[in-house]
Amino acid sequence: MNLPVPHPPSNLSDPGLPRRASWLRRLATPKPMLKVLLFALLVAWLLLGDMPRSLLAFRKDIVYLTWQHLELVAWASGLAVIVGVTVGAVLSRPIFGRISEVILQVFNLGTTIPTLAILALSMTLMGIGMVPAVFGLWAHTLLPIVRNTYTGLKETPAHLIDAARGMGMTATQIFFGVEFPNALYVIMGGIRTALAICVGTAPLAFLIGAGGLGELIFTGIALNDMPMLLAGAIPTALLAVLTDFVVARLQIWVVPRGISPAI
């Protein structure tokens, strides 16, 4: 049965996928962005003259508060990923039907409340410190993850599920073998957005006594102390860029090669 193969795909790496313009692609990938940012920082540093020395005066504070900041973010986003993916997955099951849309609307509503308000509310309920701050950040980080998990799983093509059922896969096997891997790209997209939000809003946690780099920023503002403000702001910005970079790498690593549009 030596038949000619009808249409050998001409481009094996990326057939049938819309190509983004290459400059846009390059900008969107994290690595060059990181370089540009570091370069800009370096220039600013040199231009500002004795600023480096006054910033380095806060060295100890920066290290201590960065750890605290990271701890906050890690707790909030870690819990958000676990809860968000689980809730999204549960809501995507057919038994929930229309109720899941209603629940997602409630989540949506939650996001429209400003972070500061959520933090204030959690402070009134739980007092000050780490716990209410983590709760507030967590609540705010949750939605993109739930939303993307739900959408990604819901968008599994019906014929894939039909084929899977027809071959005798159980519901659990279909979820872990078909639905979840095929939704991973979308889910990881949600996690990336969520983490960006989480790292970005974490400085506010200082306001309810949870510390973090917000301490330097807000105190700097209050005292009109430029070096102190920058000592908080620059690490915060770097952390945000670094987190996005790490998640982007993770996305490439985790998502199966047959699905990821990036390859």
Partner 1 sequence: MIRLDKLTKTFDTPQGVVVAVDGISLEVPKGEICVLLGPSGCGKTTTLRMINRLVAPTSGKVYVDGRDTDTVDPIELRRSIGYVIQQVGLFPNKTVRDNICIVPDLLGWDRKKSRARAIELLELVGMKPGEFLDRYPRELSGGQQQRVGVLRALAADPPVMLMDEPFGAIDPINREVIQNEFLRMQQSIRKTIVFVSHDLDEAMRMANRIAIFRDGKLEQCATPAQLLATPANEFVQSFLGSDTALKRLRLIKVAQAMRTSPLAVANHEPLHKALAVSRESGLDSVFVVDEHGRLLGVLDARDNIGRSGLAMEYAKSVRATVTTTSDLRSAVALMFTHDVSVLPCVDDTGVMKGWINHQAVGRSLAQAGTTP
97 binds partner 1 per the rule CB under 8 A: no
Minimum CB separation from partner 1 for residue 130, in Å?
39
| One of 37, 90, 234, 259 touching partner 1 (CB under 8 A) | 259
Q: Does 176 bind partner 1 (CB under 8 A)?
A: no
| Only segment of 118-126, 140-148, 156-164, 235-243 that touches partner 1 (CB under 8 A) | 156-164
Q: Are 92 and 149 in contact (CB under 8 A)?
A: yes
- Amino acid, single-letter form, for residue 90: V
Cβ count within 10 A of residue 223: 10
**Distance (Å, whole) CA 133 – CA 216:** 17
Query: Are 107 and 147 contacting, i.e. CB atoms less than 8 angstroms apart?
Result: yes
Scan residues 219-238 and list those touching partner 1 (CB under 8 A): none
Q: From 2-10, 86-94, 119-127, 188-196, give the range in contact with partner 1 by CB under 8 A.
A: 2-10
Q: Which residues lie closer than 8 Å to 127 by C-beta, 6 or more apart?
A: none
Query: At its nearest, how many Å lie between partner 1 and the CB of residue 239?
Result: 32
What's the first-to-final CA gap in the chain, in angstroms?
Answer: 34
- Which CB sits closer to partner 1, 115 or 251? 251
Chosen residue from 15, 18, 49, 97 binding partner 1 by CB under 8 A: 15
- The H or E element spanning position 206 is none
Total residues binding partner 1 (CB under 8 A): 33
Contact (Cβ atoms closer than 8 angstroms) between residue 143 and residue 135: no
Cβ 156 to partner 1 shortest distance, Å: 10
Neighbouring CB atoms inside 10 A of 139's CB total: 20
Residues binding partner 1 (CB under 8 A): 1-3, 5-9, 12, 15-17, 157, 159-160, 162-170, 173, 177-178, 181-182, 256-259
